[in-house]
Structure 1
Amino acid sequence: MKREGLLRKGNKSALTAAIVNTVISIIKGIAFFITGNVAMFAETMHSLGDAANQFFVYIGSALSKKAPTDRYPNGFGRLVNLVLLGAVLIVGIMSYETIKEGYHHILHPVASTGTSIIINLVVLGIAVALESFVLYKAMKEVLHEVGVEAKGLAIISKSFANLGRSKPATKLVFMEDLVATSGGVIAIIGILLSYFAGWHFAEGVASMMIGIMMFYVVGKVFLDNAKGALSEADDELEAEIADFIFTNPEIKDIRTLFAMKEGEDYHIEMKLEIDTSISVTDAIKIKNRIEGKIQEMRGITDVIIEFEEDDGVPTWVNTYKLAGEK
């Protein structure tokens, strides 16, 4: 596959967010250079980190679609997790610098002038509007990936409810732009309090709050992608597949069933106990039928099924449903 064709398969919301955040970081950087406002510094660092991060995400999500090779027969699905693990380090560094600068401003507050206030508020207002647009696009992408339809304000609530089921790259973009939008609002409040209420330390507090929110994204994304890199099992998907398996009367029991996330996709392995009276030809037909139905489920690209003779002893326990009943 040509490199150009591979890049077209990258996460579109990450590319959009990267471009928008690059523009925003340039605008904020110019405003900081003119005004020297610490809250604007925090927002500049935030947008710059997000832009770099999201470019990495886009490239990583594209490369993860590369077909398996003789040297890497299992494919490159987990590459997106590894790229994201590296990308969050950038946000972590930016978070530290933002908190440090905010703390310094709290200890040594500096009053802003009327001209700088106008510049900062205009720039931050534009940035919040652009970030809100990107966040809305990410919300729609979340719903598209999980197969949920929504219109109007329902897009917001349903995107939050289904965020955990979205792809790692989309989840990162969603969280970063949620923090970016919130951070812009916090920075505006800090500037207003500093100028009109005389609380000059408020800009430093706003900077520290933005940095702390960035650290939260770092921790959340790191844990999620560490699980993906290690092929974490998905109990909910396993339960859904098991429910389907038992709709096939020929299957008497499930000895093992694993739904393992590899990058943005799922790898399914199972051992099924089958009626001993079924012929080999019929067993192959049953296997192909089950594989076909499972591969139609969203996000599943690989299914491995093994059959064993029914031993008459029930093995499968739906641990996901049991956990929900407690």
Structure 2
Amino acid sequence: MGEFFRLLKGGNKPSLIAAIVNTIIAALKGGAFFLTGNVAMFAEMMHSIGDAANQFFVFIGSALSKKAPTPKFPNGFGRLVNLVCLGAVILVGILSYETIKEGWHHIQHPAESTGVAISLIVLGIGIILETVVLYKAGKEILHDVGVKGTSFLSPLTTSIAHLKRAKPATKLVFMEDLVATSGGVLAFVAVLISHFTGFLQAEGIASIMIGLMMFYVVGKVFLDNARGALGETDEQMLVHIALIVSENEQVKDIQELEVIKEGEFLHVKLVAEIDPTLTFAQLDDIRDVLKDLILSQQGVTDVIISFDEDDGVQDWTHKDARTVLKTHD
């Protein structure tokens, strides 16, 4: 049990903050829905419940994924966060379906809701809190990829361009809260339209739109984490490592290079071609230099390096590395 709580300290902080905030928001929206019967509020309540549960699971999964390898699991637990995310999106998918179904029912049988002021106040609070969580998640993404924001709004703007390189847990939080914030604004507008124009179906339409946005997150997160659970090649980091390795004058060519992403961690396997006249002592020094260099790259946790004699055929060129790296950027 002591180890479990120690691991929790290393869990993804944005997901924990998001889970706590969404629990509070879900409680507020739940109370407002029972008082007003507002269908848009129901959709937002379901969304916040799904986000809170999802993010709690992700926090625990991200913490447990940092558990050290054991004799039974020698490759470690890095992919556990991907498996947890896959399980968590199932819950969101169910809530998405219920949200769309309730919205469709309201369109077919519109009913006027009460307590407009309560709905607007709760939705307004939710939008503000979700925006704060979104901002923090955006800052974490910029930190993950080593990018400095150029303005106060960078966590909300620049982070989107680097979303693919973010940690799975942080990426999930950002996407869910982006949809949650947008959904809150949509529900807010729907309540105003319904109240001032008498177009009661607006709340049902908003509910369906929120449900569809939730389904989008489900699909996106599922595909991303399915690739992670299988062991996905990090192409951008592969090219980056190939570039820095090829700059070592002792490395004549790169025969094989693998950069496998498991959860938040990267595992590197390198086969480099070296001058066959070098001594074992020299090869050992080269190996140490390359290992330290690769391990210093963000996210890399282990490296396997082996050497082969230079065959005189160039498989990897410095120019090719720069071209591919620029393309991925």
Distance 1:253 1:53 in 2: 45
When the two chains are superposed, the root-mean-square deviation of aligned CA atoms in Å is 1.6
Q: Aligned residue for 2:104?
A: 103
Q: Aligned residue for 1:276?
A: 276
Distance 2:240 2:176 in 1: 30
Map 1:232-271 onto structure 2 (within 5 A).
232-271=232-271
Contact 1:239/1:321 (<8 A) preserved: no
Map 1:105-184 onto structure 2 (within 5 A).
105-113=106-114, 116-150=115-149, 151-184=151-184
**What letter corresponds to residue 149 of structure 1 in structure 2?**
K
Map 1:1-326 onto structure 2 (within 5 A).
2-113=3-114, 116-150=115-149, 151-316=151-316, 318=320, 321-322=323-324
Contact 2:242/2:321 (<8 A) preserved: no
Normalization by structure 1: what TM-score? 0.96
- After superposition, the C-alpha distances for 1:121-160 in whole angstroms (9 at most, x for unaligned) are 0110011111111111101111111111224123322211
- After superposition, the C-alpha distances for 1:63-91 in whole angstroms (9 at most, x for unaligned) are 00000011001100000000000000010
Contact 1:256/1:316 (<8 A) preserved: no
Name whichever of 277-286 and 52-61 sits farther off: 277-286
Contact 1:80/1:263 (<8 A) preserved: yes
Distance 1:69 1:46 in 2: 38
**What letter corresponds to residue 167 of structure 1 in structure 2?**
K
**Distance of aligned partners of 1:188 and 1:170 in 2 relative to their CA distance in 1, 3 Å threshold:** same
Deviation at 1:324, TM superposition (A): 6.5
**What letter corresponds to residue 215 of structure 1 in structure 2?**
F
Distance 2:327 2:14 in 1: 37
Deviation at 1:277, TM superposition (A): 1.6
Distance 1:207 1:218 in 2: 17
Contact 2:273/2:310 (<8 A) preserved: yes
- After superposition, the C-alpha distances for 1:180-207 in whole angstroms (9 at most, x for unaligned) are 0000000011111111112110000000
What stretches of structure 2 of length at least 5 have no aligned partner? none
SS of residue matched to 1:71: coil
**Distance of aligned partners of 1:176 and 1:320 in 2 relative to their CA distance in 1, 3 Å threshold:** farther
**Distance of aligned partners of 1:68 and 1:34 in 2 relative to their CA distance in 1, 3 Å threshold:** same
**Distance of aligned partners of 1:319 and 1:107 in 2 relative to their CA distance in 1, 3 Å threshold:** farther
**Distance of aligned partners of 1:21 and 1:303 in 2 relative to their CA distance in 1, 3 Å threshold:** same
Distance 1:52 1:320 in 2: 43
Contact 1:236/1:320 (<8 A) preserved: no
Deviation at 1:322, TM superposition (A): 5.0
Deviation at 1:320, TM superposition (A): 8.7
Contact 1:17/1:134 (<8 A) preserved: yes
Distance 2:165 2:102 in 1: 36
Distance 1:325 1:5 in 2: 41
The size of the alignment, in residue pairs, is 324
SS of residue matched to 1:242: helix
SS of residue matched to 1:2: helix
Distance 1:272 1:325 in 2: 24
SS of residue matched to 2:304: strand
Contact 2:243/2:321 (<8 A) preserved: no
Distance 2:204 2:87 in 1: 28
Distance 2:323 2:91 in 1: 39
Question: Percent same amino acid at aligned positions?
Answer: 58
Deviation at 1:323, TM superposition (A): 9.2
**What letter corresponds to residue 111 of structure 1 in structure 2?**
E
**Distance of aligned partners of 1:108 and 1:31 in 2 relative to their CA distance in 1, 3 Å threshold:** same
Distance 1:156 1:124 in 2: 20
**What letter corresponds to residue 308 of structure 2 in structure 1?**
E
